Amino acid sequence: MIKLPDLKTADIKGKRVFLRADIDVPLDNGKIMDDTRLSESLETLNYLLQNGAKVVLAGHLGRPQGVEHDLSAEPVARWYQNKLKIKNEKLKMIKIGELDAWEISEAV
């Protein structure tokens, strides 16, 4: 694993970067009630994307005991899609085991 003293000194162009973000936001019937936690990651996420990184964004909603569809990350994926102006056809749902995941299919 590469140790980085500062993200801005790293050569990230074309590299896959794992970004753990706090996406545990309150939902009401699939609607995000407070997006403060999501907004906190936007600066870093924008920097990574603008500098050519392939970002793997990870986080969790709630404290699921297995697969709980009411804790789907789809509202969060759609929120990021809107904020980052990602075209709808570039964001697609994929399966990782039994879990739903969202992937940006090409560079934004």
- Which residues make beta-bridge pairs with 103? 92
5 is a domain residue: no
pLDDT at 38: 94
Question: Residue 41 belongs to a domain with what CATH number?
Answer: 3.40.50.1260
Residue 70: helix, strand or coil by DSSP? Answer: helix
Domain, as residue range, for 71: 12-104
Least confident of 31-35, 45-49, 92-96: 92-96
**Cα(81)–Cα(74) distance, integer angstroms:** 10
The DSSP symbol for 28 reads E
Residue 49: helix, strand or coil by DSSP? Answer: helix
The count of structural domains within the chain is 1
Q: Is residue 27 exposed (0-12), middle (13-18) or buried (19+ Cβ within 10 Å)?
A: middle
**Cα(4)–Cα(45) distance, integer angstroms:** 17
6 is a domain residue: no
3 is a domain residue: no
User: Tens digit of pLDDT for each residue in 20-32?
Assistant: 888 889 989 889 9
User: Tens digit of pLDDT for each residue in 45-76?
Assistant: 889 888 988 888 888 777 766 666 666 778 88
